[in-house]
Amino acid sequence: MFEFKPNDKQPNYYVLSMFPYPSGSLHMGHVRNYTIGDIIARYKRACGYNVLHPIGWDSFGLPAENAAKAYNIHPKTWTEKNILEMKKELKELNFSYDWSREFATHTTEYYKDEQQFFLDFYKQNLIYRKESLVNWDPVDKTVLANEQVVDGKGWRSGVAIEKKYLKQWFFKITNFQEELLDGLNKLPEWPEKVKAMQEKWIGKSFGTIINFKIQDSSTQLQIFTTRAETLYGASFCGISYRHELVSKLKKTKELEDFLKQCQIGATAEKDIALQDKHGFDIKIQAINPISGKLLPIYIANFINDEYGTGAIFGCPAHDDRDKEFAEKYNLPIISVIDDNNKMINSNNLNGLDIVGARKKIQEEIIAKNIGACQINYKLRDWGISRQRFWGTPIPIIYCDKCGEVPAELPVILPEEYYPSLDLHPTWKNTICPKCNGNAKRETDTLDTFFESSWYFIKFCQDNVMPVDCYIGGIEHAILHLLYARFFTKALKKNNYLTIDEPFKKLITQGMVCHHTYKDKKTGQFITPDEASSMSRDDVIIGAIEKMSKSKKNIVSLKEMIKRYNIDTVRVFIVSDNPIDKNIIWSETGLKSTYSFLDKLKNIILENIRKNITSDAKDRNKLHMHLKNLTNEMEEFKFNKVIAKIHEIYNLIVNNTALQPEGSKILLQVLQPFTPNLVDEIKNIKGDDIIQSSWPKHIEIKENTIKIAVQLNGKFKNTIEVDKNIPQNQIEELAKIALQNKISFIEENISKIIYIPLRAVNIMVKDNN
Claim to verify: residue 465 and residue 553 sit in the same structural domain: no
Overall number of domains in the chain:
6
Claim to verify: residue 45 and residue 184 sit in the same structural domain: yes
- Measured CA to CA, the distance from residue 762 to residue 306 in angstroms comes to 87
pLDDT tier, 554 (very low <50, low <70, confident <90, very high otherwise): confident
pLDDT(293) > 50? yes
**385, 444 in Cβ contact below 8 A?**
yes
Of 588, 621, 642, which closes a domain? 588
pLDDT(65) > 80? yes
- Measured CA to CA, the distance from residue 381 to residue 128 in angstroms comes to 10
Report, as an integer, the average pLDDT of 632-653: 96
pLDDT(9) > 50? no
Cα–Cα nearest to 456, from 440, 471, 476, 434: 471
**325, 312 in Cβ contact below 8 A?**
no
Claim to verify: residue 342 and residue 442 sit in the same structural domain: no
pTM: 0.83
**63, 70 in Cβ contact below 8 A?**
no
Domain assignment of residue 594, yes or no? no
pLDDT value of residue 306: 77
Q: Which domain holds residue 522?
A: 512-588
Claim to verify: residue 120 and residue 140 sit in the same structural domain: yes
Domain assignment of residue 136, yes or no? yes
pLDDT value of residue 150: 78
Claim to verify: residue 411 and residue 344 sit in the same structural domain: no
Domain assignment of residue 612, yes or no? yes
- Measured CA to CA, the distance from residue 356 to residue 668 in angstroms comes to 63
Domain assignment of residue 593, yes or no? no
Claim to verify: residue 101 and residue 180 sit in the same structural domain: yes
Q: How far is CA 657 from CA 612, 622, 654, in A?
A: 6, 11, 9
Of 376, 404, 422, which closes a domain? 376
**77, 122 in Cβ contact below 8 A?**
no
Compare 616 and 749 and report the one with higher pLDDT.
749
Claim to verify: residue 357 and residue 293 sit in the same structural domain: yes
> Which tens digits make up the pLDDT trace of 28-39?
888 999 999 999
Domain assignment of residue 685, yes or no? yes
Claim to verify: residue 129 and residue 154 sit in the same structural domain: yes
> Which tens digits make up the pLDDT trace of 622-634?
999 999 999 999 9
Claim to verify: residue 12 and residue 48 sit in the same structural domain: yes
* Ordered alpha helix ranges (H), 409-556: 448-451, 455-459, 481-493, 528-532
Residue 699 carries which side chain, given as an amino acid letter?
E
Domain assignment of residue 199, yes or no? no
- Measured CA to CA, the distance from residue 277 to residue 273 in angstroms comes to 8
> Which tens digits make up the pLDDT trace of 423-459?
999 999 999 999 999 999 999 999 999 999 999 999 8
Q: Which of 109-113, 522-526, 618-622 has the highest mean pLDDT?
A: 109-113
- Measured CA to CA, the distance from residue 219 to residue 338 in angstroms comes to 35
Looking up residue 463, the CATH number of its domain turns out to be: 3.40.50.620
pLDDT value of residue 1: 44
pLDDT value of residue 269: 57
3-state helix, strand, coil in the chain (%, to 5): 40, 25, 40
Looking up residue 652, the CATH number of its domain turns out to be: 1.10.730.10
- Measured CA to CA, the distance from residue 630 to residue 643 in angstroms comes to 12
**50, 10 in Cβ contact below 8 A?**
yes
pLDDT value of residue 767: 54
Q: DSSP labels for 347-364?
A: GGGTT-BHHHHHHHHHHH
Phi/psi of residue 357, each to 5°? -65, -40
Provide the 8-state DSSP code for 32: H
Cα–Cα nearest to 198, from 175, 177, 171: 177
- Measured CA to CA, the distance from residue 555 to residue 513 in angstroms comes to 10
* Ordered alpha helix ranges (H), 237-369: 253-262, 269-274, 320-328, 354-367
Handedness of CA 526, 528, 530, 536 (dihedral sign): positive
Domain assignment of residue 443, yes or no? yes
Claim to verify: residue 411 and residue 500 sit in the same structural domain: no
Give bridge partners of residue 205 from the DSSP assignment: 376
**460, 52 in Cβ contact below 8 A?**
yes
Provide the 8-state DSSP code for 274: H
Cα–Cα nearest to 290, from 341, 206, 342, 223: 223
Q: What SS3 state is found at 221?
A: strand
Looking up residue 708, the CATH number of its domain turns out to be: 3.10.20.590
Give bridge partners of residue 300 from the DSSP assignment: 279
Q: What is the mean pLDDT of the chain?
A: 90
Of 404, 419, 451, which closes a domain? 451
Give bridge partners of residue 513 from the DSSP assignment: 546, 584
pLDDT tier, 642 (very low <50, low <70, confident <90, very high otherwise): very high
> Which tens digits make up the pLDDT trace of 378-418?
999 999 999 889 999 999 999 999 999 999 999 999 999 99
Claim to verify: residue 638 and residue 489 sit in the same structural domain: no
Phi/psi of residue 210, each to 5°? -125, 135
Domain assignment of residue 596, yes or no? no
pLDDT tier, 2 (very low <50, low <70, confident <90, very high otherwise): very low
Report, as an integer, the average pLDDT of 42-56: 93
Claim to verify: residue 264 and residue 307 sit in the same structural domain: yes
